[in-house]
Structure 1
Amino acid sequence: METKLQTNQNIEMKSKKEDSVRTLLNIIGFLIFGGLALTMITNPPHSTKEMKEFLFFIMGSTFIYYILVNVYFLGELWRKVVYTTLFIIGGMSIFIIFYLSTSSIPH
């Protein structure tokens, strides 16, 4: 008699709930950043320099948002990367608040 050996295969199954949450977050991001882009029509900036800066802000924020949302759903290790990135962004924001409140801005 000969035994048949089967290898152990690790298969990760994505639940429908994860896919629906991912889709929901992508739709929410589209609405948020689409709404920001629409404000250029409803309340136009005063100069082309302001318009360029606002567009760069929207594009940068959109890029960071979608990268973090989609990397989050890659696996457990990537979730830790997303949490660490959010922690760093939050820490930098708090540092910038204190820096700008204590330093004078020449006009």
Structure 2
Amino acid sequence: MDAKFQTNQNVKIKSEKEFSLRKLLNIIGLFIFGGLALTIITNSPHSTNEIKEFLLFIVGSAFIYYVLVNLYFIGKSWRKVVYSSLLIIVGISIFMIFYLSTHSVPH
């Protein structure tokens, strides 16, 4: 009698709830950044340089948003990366609030 051995396979099962939350966050991002892009039409900037800067801001923000959302759903170790990067963004934002309030920019 020969023994038949089967190897244990690690299979990750993604729940439907996790997939739908990821899809929802991606759709919300589409509305957020699409709405920001539409503000160029409703409130036209004064120069083409302002349009370029605003579009660069939208593209950069969208890139960071989608990278963080999709990294969050890769796995538990990546969630720590997302949380730490969000903490860094919050810290930089708070620093910029105090820095810009004390060092005003002349117009």
* Number of residue-to-residue matches in the alignment: 107
Query: Where does residue 88 of structure 1 map in the other structure?
Result: 88
Cα distance in 2 for residues equivalent to 1:8 and 1:98: 56
Question: For residues 28-50 of structure 1, what are the alpha-carbon distances to aligned partners after superposition, in whole Å with 9 as ceiling and x for unaligned?
Answer: 00000000000100111011111
- Specify every segment of 5 or more residues in structure 2 that has no aligned partner in the other structure, as ranges: none
Query: Where does residue 13 of structure 1 map in the other structure?
Result: 13
- TM-score, reference length from structure 2: 0.95
Cα distance in 1 for residues equivalent to 2:46 and 2:104: 25
- Percent of aligned positions with the same letter in both sequences? 70
Quote the RMSD (CA, aligned, Å). 0.9
- TM-score, reference length from structure 1: 0.95
- Bigger shift: residues 17-26 or 97-106: 97-106
Query: Where does residue 29 of structure 1 map in the other structure?
Result: 29
- Specify every segment of 5 or more residues in structure 1 that has no aligned partner in the other structure, as ranges: none
Question: For residues 15-38 of structure 1, what are the alpha-carbon distances to aligned partners after superposition, in whole Å with 9 as ceiling and x for unaligned?
Answer: 000110011001000000000000
Cα distance in 2 for residues equivalent to 1:105 and 1:44: 23
